[in-house]
Amino acid sequence: MSADRTIAVMAAVNAAAAGEASPVTVRHVCVACAAVVGLAGVGLFVVRGNGPAEPVVATDSISEQVMEAQLTLGEGPTLDVLTTSRPVLMTDLADGAAGRRWPGFAPVAEALGIRAVFAFPLVLGAISVGVLELYRNTAGGLSTTELTDALLFSDLATLRVLDHLAGLDVDPTLDGFEHRWAEVHQATGVVSAQLEVPLAEALVRLRAHAYVTGLRLSEVAHDLLAGSLRLDPRNDDQTEE
């Protein structure tokens, strides 16, 4: 990779952090990536141990919804990357290939205004720590320079995610997103106890309810923890209190 591009990418990340008078965090890597590569948004998923992918950073609300849709539907670029450990470069979500590959996710992402998605594994040796996902609102692939930059940002994101998991990357602006996903974990535990089912099945119940009602998974979790929703043990219909 070009040394000039490495310098440019590092400068963009440092500038994003300097603009907030803050140390560099994983969020600054995502913000700089969106600006340099010319994207509608960027999302970053983290994998903790053998757990599922968790959304940690979204540069905007649309990216956040695209990320959450994948976890609700159980399909999408990030889940493919985690299965294969290879990048996914989908240049047009409106074509037939995308629809066949992700019959649930592709139309949802399109409806949100996203036309192209590029997902890169965050790996260090044999260890996978997450996925960096890039979104565009126009169809088309990445140029050679854009792909080079995306890979460089992925490398930086990998290092910052490792810091984040170790507690060295403490960014208070992540709290909102991470708090919402922490509620999903808490709600999964509550459903598991209420319905006397394993955690994996409890998460499937939450996802199914989100899919049927059209709510986001984080919204379902919040309602359940707030006491306004209780899943019926006989089915996935809601019981409001």
Kind and range of the H or E run holding 235: none
Confirm whether 3-170 and 174-239 share one CATH topology.
Answer: no
Scanning the structure block, which residue is given the tokens 């306004």? 228
Q: Which two tokens stand for residue 156?
A: 């930086």
Among residues 165, 227, 80, the alpha carbon closest in space to that of 174 is found at 165
Q: What is the DSSP letter of 203?
A: H
Contact call for residues 17 and 23 (beta carbons, < 8 A):
yes
Give the start-to-end residue ranges of the domains of the chain: 3-170, 174-239
State whether CATH 1.10.10 applies to domain 174-239.
Answer: yes
Is 0.75 surpassed by the pTM of this model?
A: yes
- Separation CA 174–CA 82 (nearest Å): 23
Strands (E), 48-199: 53-58, 88-90, 116-124, 127-136
Tell me the DSSP string of 208-225: HHHHHHT--HHHHHHHHH
CA torsion sign for 202, 208, 214, 216 is: positive
Class of domain 3-170: alpha beta
The CA-to-CA distance between both ends of the chain, in Å, stands at 58
Side chain identity, residue 190: V
Q: Give me the tens of pLDDT residue by residue for the chain, a chain 241 residues long.
A: 678 999 999 999 999 999 999 888 899 999 999 999 999 999 999 987 777 788 889 999 999 999 999 988 999 999 999 999 999 999 999 999 999 999 999 999 999 999 999 999 999 887 889 999 999 999 999 999 999 999 999 999 999 888 877 776 766 666 555 666 677 778 888 888 888 788 778 777 877 887 788 777 778 888 888 888 888 776 544 544 4
Side chain identity, residue 232: D
Q: What is the pLDDT of residue 194?
A: 82
